[in-house]
Amino acid sequence: MTAAYKRLQEIYGSLQEKIHFQPKIALVLGSGLGDYAESIRTEAVLDYKELKGFPVSTVSGHKGRFVFGYVKDVPVVIMQGRVHYYEGYPMEDVVLPIRLMKMMGAQILFLTNAAGGINDRFKAGDFMMITDQIANFVPSPLIGPNIEELGVRFPDMSEIYDKELCSILRGAAKDLGIGLQEGTYIQLSGPNYESPHEVQMCRILGADAVGMSTACEAVAANHMGMKICGISCISNMACGITGQPLSHEEVKETADRVAPWFKSLITEGIARMACR
Ligand code: HPA
């Protein structure tokens, strides 16, 4: 058994001492969306710091806890605050919560984030369903001895974002009258925002939105055979597109402004995924 798996098992063990809850869907809330967790029928809450050896996020606007509860009767575990690579954690730590949620029983992973829009048909406040990703600008979370208990050494990544879940989200957005763009998400390390030429590079590579999270989590989840979907809130147009400087405040403001629609899309998406 690898050291990484032993550690996972230990943390899972300490979680089980505190909570017995089997989620169907795991939801990760990005910047500005954290308070969605407060709107669900909550069964239990567990601060990351209560789990010995668990990485704790330091970003403002990110709480650090698991919320267990029900979205329209669907049992979910929500990560209210994620761990970012730019905080200085090794990738193994960044994806540890995702692995833990799979161990709890979640088969579906619903990822959300705030991202910069690269595609010039996008505008700040849009939502983009992630249909594929570029993760190679950060180290793979699978580097190191393979955790055989979780998945294979060389996992296929031809359909990271599950087509059926994408189609469910498309349908939910349409029925709710919420616009939903689609595209490829690229993860860069951050924490600095990109330069105009870096954004241009991302566009040439085929990316539609850029952010500092998510893709590594999707790689780890796909390795474990989870079904994955994701939505980016385009909180700003990426650097160099509008000529305006970027700030974390702007990112949070836009995400807050469109949060009501984002939340109803998440709720409806989860309800439909559970009875697929
Ligand atoms: N770049 C990277 N990450 C981001 C951005 C951006 O423009 N907006 C929100 N997260």
Taking residue 173's Cβ as centre, other Cβ atoms within 10 Å add up to: 21
Q: Which residue has the tokens 């594929």?
A: 132
Amino acid at 130: I
State which of 123, 186, 210, 231 you would mutate to test the pocket of ligand 1, scoring each by most atoms of that ligand within 8 A of its C-beta. 210
Q: Please state the φ and ψ torsions of residue 81, each to the nearest 5 degrees.
A: 105, 125
Query: Does residue 211 contact residue 128 with C-beta atoms inside 8 Å?
Result: no
Domain count, the chain: 1
The pTM for the full model equals 0.96
pLDDT tens digits in sequence order for the chain, 276 residues long: 899 999 999 999 999 999 999 999 999 999 878 889 888 999 999 999 888 888 876 665 557 899 999 999 999 999 998 999 999 999 999 999 999 999 999 999 999 999 999 999 999 999 999 999 999 999 999 999 999 999 999 999 999 999 999 999 999 999 999 999 999 999 999 999 999 999 999 999 999 999 999 999 999 999 999 999 999 999 999 999 888 888 888 888 888 899 999 999 999 999 999 987
Q: At what angle do helices 96-104 and 215-223 cross, to 10 degrees?
A: 40
Testing ligand 1's pocket by substitution, the residue of 59, 82, 231, 246 carrying the most ligand atoms inside 8 A of its CB is 246
Please name the residue that has the structure tokens 């088969």: 107
pLDDT in tens, 146-156: 999 999 999 99
Q: What CATH number does residue 195 fall under?
A: 3.40.50.1580
Q: What is the largest CA-CA distance in the chain?
A: 52
124 CB near ligand 1 (under 6 Å): no
Q: 157 CA distance to ligand 1 centroid (A)?
A: 24
> What domain range is 232 assigned to?
3-273
Alpha-carbon distance of 27 to 30, in angstroms, equals: 10
In this structure, what DSSP letter does residue 161 have? B
Task: Dihedral sign for Cα 137, 126, 250, 95, please.
Answer: negative
How far is CA 11 from each of CA 93, 98, 273, rounded to the nearest angstrom?
12, 12, 28
**How much is the pLDDT for 62?**
57
Is residue 115 lining ligand 1, measured as CB closer than 6 Å?
A: yes
- pLDDT score for 32: 77
Backbone angles phi, psi at 126, to 5 degrees: -70, 160
CA of 49 to the centre of ligand 1 (A): 27
Q: Which 3 state secondary structure label does DSSP give 227?
A: strand
Q: Could you give the residue numbers annotated as active site?
A: 31, 62, 84, 86-87, 114, 212-213, 236, 248
pLDDT at res. 147: 97
Q: With contact defined as beta carbons under 8 Å apart, do 199 and 210 qualify?
A: yes
Residue of minimum CA distance from atom 3 in ligand 1: 211
